[in-house]
């Protein structure tokens, strides 16, 4: 691992630590007393926050003044600690960062949950500090279900204890996710190896070589060989042939093209060479493979 | 033109994602191919690969904070604009590219 990688890993985990600590302390000391729902029933003013995912803001200290739309009217609300603001997807809110506030905002993306802990001294649009943490590996079932229920309540502007209890539950569920062990990002070598594999799968019908692939990825040809040996336990050319032979198998089974045509479409200019490669990989010749699979298909259909 | 872009704002709550959507839409109107990486509170999403960056003619940074892992863009022409520019006048960014 390069030193820069180590630094970024350390930074991510320390951001998560700060957010976990803040959320734990909040939930130990505070009960949610009121939930404000925003909706999208008036046109958003310029620079209002509109996202295609829902958000939940929880002021920790100070007053998180903002405009929201509610039932066709634009209102200014002044939530403080023990309040929460839930903004569903495509609805809007426009925070006014002019007064001092510490606020925790949770972002509920399609796959990811993000948390932003912002401290504003007031009098400036730029926060004094912002800590961003995200839950990798996405939702578990409880978090997803609680969020879905809260969205239903937001759509109905439900009153009573349900919104505040569910908001508290959602915070507890997110805290649990944040504390669960994180999946490490795969090593760089594996990522490069995987992207080369994808590239080969997309370009097997062009005359690609170890050298052309290396050039395309800005790597030395020997480095490509090393990646395939260490990460894939095979040679680059064996992998390329494997991809081409697999494609040929599919065409032999499903299309009535000649061997020469199939060889050419997999970028083998010499059909005899194609047959040799095929036999080496599959232990049968292309013609035998075709006969065998067509007999099986017709036997299966009867 | 092939373009890569990065959006990031101090809080990472909304403008990062809104700017990314704007850039994608307007770039298409100008007939460009674009991929936008967001560096918001959800972490780095739609990550630009080495391949994306090498093939790009230009990189647009619509950011109000430092770009994470900026060294990836060494050797690429970068235009940096304030994030609000991408929200208010994204057309301006692309019409400048034509000249």
Average pLDDT (A153-161) is 86
Do A54 and A75 lie in a common domain? Answer: yes
List the single residue in B14, B41, B49 with the smallest CB-CB distance to A115. B41
pLDDT category of residue A185 using cuts at 50, 70 and 90: low
DSSP codes of every residue in B7-40? EE-SS-SSHHHHHHHHHHHHHHHTT-EEEEEEEE
Predicted confidence (pLDDT) at residue B96 exceeds the cutoff of 90: no
Do A28 and A158 lie in a common domain? Answer: yes
Picking from A179, A197, A213, the residue at the C-terminal end of a domain is A179
> Can you give the pLDDT at residue A129?
87
Domain enclosing residue A194, as ranges: 188-301
Do A46 and A165 lie in a common domain? Answer: yes
Which tens digits make up the pLDDT trace of A159-171?
A: 899 999 999 999 9
Helix (H, G, I), strand (E, B) or coil at A157: coil
Do A147 and A48 lie in a common domain? Answer: yes
Which of A106, A119, A124, A130 is best to mutate for the B interface (most B CBs within 10 A)? A130
Which residues, at least 6 apart from A194, have a Cβ–Cβ distance to it below 8 Å? A186
> Can you give the pLDDT at residue A275?
94
User: Facing residues of B78 across strands?
Assistant: B59
Which of B14, B17, B44 is best to mutate for the A interface (most A CBs within 10 A)? B14
Average pLDDT (B17-43) is 95
Do A130 and A195 lie in a common domain? Answer: no
DSSP letter, residue A124: S
Picking from A128, A154, A179, the residue at the C-terminal end of a domain is A179
Picking from A150, A179, A208, the residue at the C-terminal end of a domain is A179
> Can you give the pLDDT at residue A298?
52
Which tens digits make up the pLDDT trace of A37-94?
A: 998 889 999 999 999 999 999 999 999 999 999 888 999 999 999 999 999 999 999 9
> Can you give the pLDDT at residue A189?
83
Q: Using CA coordinates, name the residue in chain A closest to B65.
A: A126
> Can you give the pLDDT at residue B73?
95
pLDDT category of residue A300 using cuts at 50, 70 and 90: very low
Helix (H, G, I), strand (E, B) or coil at A91: coil
Phi, psi of A219 (to 5 degrees): -120, 160
> Can you give the pLDDT at residue A4?
40
Here the ipTM equals: 0.90
Which residues, at least 6 apart from A145, have a Cβ–Cβ distance to it below 8 Å? none
- Rg of chain A (C-alpha set): 29
Do A46 and A151 lie in a common domain? Answer: yes
CA gap A254, A237 in Å, rounded: 26
List the single residue in B41, B51, B84 with the smallest CB-CB distance to A195. B51
Q: What torsion do the CA atoms of A155, A94, B42, B44 make, to the nearest 10 degrees?
A: 140
Which tens digits make up the pLDDT trace of A250-288?
A: 889 888 899 999 999 999 999 999 999 999 888 899 999
Q: Say yes or no: A265 contacts chain B, CB-CB below 8 A.
A: no
Q: What is the pTM of this model?
A: 0.67
Q: Is B2 a catalytic residue?
A: no
pLDDT category of residue A9 using cuts at 50, 70 and 90: very low
Average pLDDT (A187-199) is 85
Number of domains chain A is built from: 2
Average pLDDT (A141-165) is 89
CA A123, chain centre distance (Å): 36
Query: What are the tokens at A69?
Result: 């739309």
Contact B14 A50 (CB under 8 A): yes
> Can you give the pLDDT at residue B28?
92
A1 in any annotated domain: no
List the single residue in A49, A130, A192 with the smallest CB-CB distance to B14. A49
> Can you give the pLDDT at residue A255?
86
- Of A98, A113, A119, A107, residue with least CA distance to A18: A119
Which domains does chain B possess? 2-97 (3.40.50.2300)
């Amino acid at each position: 691992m390069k030193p820069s990688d180590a630094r970024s890993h350390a930074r991510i985990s320390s951001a998560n630590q700060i957010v976990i600590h803040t959320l734990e302390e909040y939930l130990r000391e505070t009960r949610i007393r009121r939930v404000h729902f925003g909706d999208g029933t008036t046109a958003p003013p310029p620079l209002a926050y509109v996202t295609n995912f829902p958000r939940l803001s929880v002021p920790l200290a100070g007053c998180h003044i903002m405009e929201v739309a509610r039932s066709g009217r634009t209102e200014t609300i002044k939530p403080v600690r023990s309040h929460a603001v839930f903004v569903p997807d495509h609805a809007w809110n426009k925070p006014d960062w002019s007064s001092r506030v510490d606020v925790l905002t949770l972002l509920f993306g399609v796959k990811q949950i993000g948390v932003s802990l912002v401290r504003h001294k007031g009098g400036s649009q730029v926060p004094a500090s912002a800590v961003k943490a995200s839950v990798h590996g996405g939702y578990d079932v409880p978090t997803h279900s609680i969020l879905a229920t809260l969205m239903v309540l937001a759509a109905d502007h439900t009153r009573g204890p349900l919104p505040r209890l569910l908001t508290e539950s959602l915070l507890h569920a997110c805290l649990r996710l944040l504390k669960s062990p994180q999946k490490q990002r795969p090593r760089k070598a594996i990522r490069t190896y995987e992207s080369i594999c994808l590239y080969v799968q997309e370009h097997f019908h062009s005359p690609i070589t170890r050298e052309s692939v290396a050039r395309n990825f800005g790597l030395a040809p020997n480095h490509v060989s090393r990646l395939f040996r260490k990460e894939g336990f095979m040679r680059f050319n064996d992998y390329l042939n494997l991809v081409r032979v697999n494609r040929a198998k599919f065409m032999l089974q499903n299309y009535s093209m000649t061997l020469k045509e199939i060889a050419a479409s997999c970028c083998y200019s010499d059909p005899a060479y194609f047959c040799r490669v095929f036999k080496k990989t599959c232990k049968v010749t292309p013609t035998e493979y075709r006969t065998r699979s067509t007999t099986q298909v017709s036997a299966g259909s009867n | 033109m092939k373009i890569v872009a990065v959006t990031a704002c101090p809080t990472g709550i909304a403008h990062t994602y809104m700017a990314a959507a704007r850039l994608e839409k307007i770039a298409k109107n100008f007939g460009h191919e674009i991929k936008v990486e967001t560096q918001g509170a959800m972490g780095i999403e739609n990550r630009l690969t080495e391949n994306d960056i090498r093939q790009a003619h230009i990189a647009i940074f619509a950011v109000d904070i430092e770009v994470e892992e900026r060294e990836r863009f060494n050797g690429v022409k970068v235009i940096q604009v304030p994030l609000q520019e991408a929200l208010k006048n994204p057309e301006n960014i692309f019409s400048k590219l034509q000249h």
